[in-house]
Amino acid sequence: MAEPSPSAGADQMVVSDRTLLRRMSEEGSHGLADLRAVLDAGFVCHLGIVVDDWPMVIPTSYGRLGDQLYLHGSVASRSLRTARYAGPACVTVTHVDGLVLARSVFEHSINYRCAMVYGTPEVLSEPDQKLIGLEAISNQAAPGQWEYVRSPSKKELAATAVLRLDLDEASVKIRRGPPHDGDGPDAELDVWAGEIPLRIARMDPVADPTLRTGVVLPDHLAHGHPAPGSVPVRDLAPH
């Protein structure tokens, strides 16, 4: 890892060779607040590791607790069995906020928020530590659900893998706003240009058809929470 950048401090991450923002750096950040905001806006990530000398990227659920990320999996998973041995990994969380349609194909883009976290995940073995991680993962997707449902049995806990990754080495990139060709020669073309916003919408809950009569929807689900991916994040740079 590289030495801390001059701007590194209590609210800034250390910049490494992997997290140095080289392309479109004006859309990037190494601020801890920006990283936490992107992570807190979702609950599905992609875990990239090397398995049998080949890269593998696995979608899985996650939860953030402080400056640690917990990832969920099964002990039968080949990828997570590989992660049990110390090795590098990259966790990516991306939210798509809209299509950016320009006057030329070259200037088309996507508005998005993305966090990339690097490190060596730790596979938790102590039941108490696994429960902490599973609580974070559960409440990340549906706050209050961990306290509402039955806790894992010893057998279920043994069959569940939980990875923990420190947020020591990460970067964030965000693109927002219209296409960038409004002040160029293509602005004279009779071609519509602009943004098509995209959002994840939280719909009304649908009960399990086998649900016993009289079991009502709990308040923490009935009242709802902001849809993952829709939490507003401040603009990191002017466009």
Say how far apart CA 28 and CA 100 lie, in whole Å: 18
Question: Which of 229, 73, 77 lies closest to 164 in space, CA to CA?
Answer: 73
Q: Where are the alpha helices (DSSP H) in 5-66?
A: 32-40
Asked whether the predicted pLDDT for residue 236 surpasses 80, the reply is: no
Mean pLDDT estimate for the chain: 85
Q: How confident is the model at residue 87 (pLDDT cuts 50, 70, 90)?
A: confident
Task: Report the pLDDT value the prediction gives residue 119, as an integer from 0 to 100.
Answer: 93
Average pLDDT over residues 43-61: 91
Q: What is the sign, positive or negative, of the torsion defined by CA atoms of 185, 190, 191, 193?
A: positive
Q: Tell me, what CATH number does 38's domain have?
A: 2.30.110.10
Task: Report the pLDDT value the prediction gives residue 227, as an integer from 0 to 100.
Answer: 46
Both structure tokens of 228: 């993952």
Would 236 be classed as within a structural domain? no
Phi (first) and psi of residue 11, to 5 degrees: -105, 10
Average pLDDT over residues 21-25: 68
Would 166 be classed as within a structural domain? yes
Spacing of C-alpha 49 from chain mean position: 16
Spacing of C-alpha 37 from chain mean position: 9
Q: What letter represents residue 158's amino acid?
A: A
Say how far apart CA 131 and CA 31 lie, in whole Å: 29
Do residues 126 and 100 touch, judged by C-beta distance below 8 A?
A: no
Question: Which of 199, 234, 227, 219 lies closest to 27 in space, CA to CA?
Answer: 234
**Per-residue burial over 38-66, b = 16 or more CB atoms within 10 Å of its CB, e = otherwise:** bbbbbbebebbbeeeeeeeebebbbbbee
Query: What is the total count of domains within the chain?
Result: 1
pLDDT in tens, 126-177: 999 999 999 999 999 999 999 999 999 999 999 999 999 999 899 999 999 9
Would 175 be classed as within a structural domain? yes
Would 193 be classed as within a structural domain? yes
Would 229 be classed as within a structural domain? no
Would 234 be classed as within a structural domain? no
Say how far apart CA 218 and CA 4 lie, in whole Å: 47
Q: How confident is the model at residue 74 (pLDDT cuts 50, 70, 90)?
A: low
Total residues belonging to the chain: 239
Domain span holding position 214: 25-222
Average pLDDT over residues 169-195: 93
Would 11 be classed as within a structural domain? no
Query: Angle at CA 201, nearest 5°, toward 94 and 43?
Result: 40
What is the longest distance spanned by two Cα atoms in the chain? 67
Would 9 be classed as within a structural domain? no
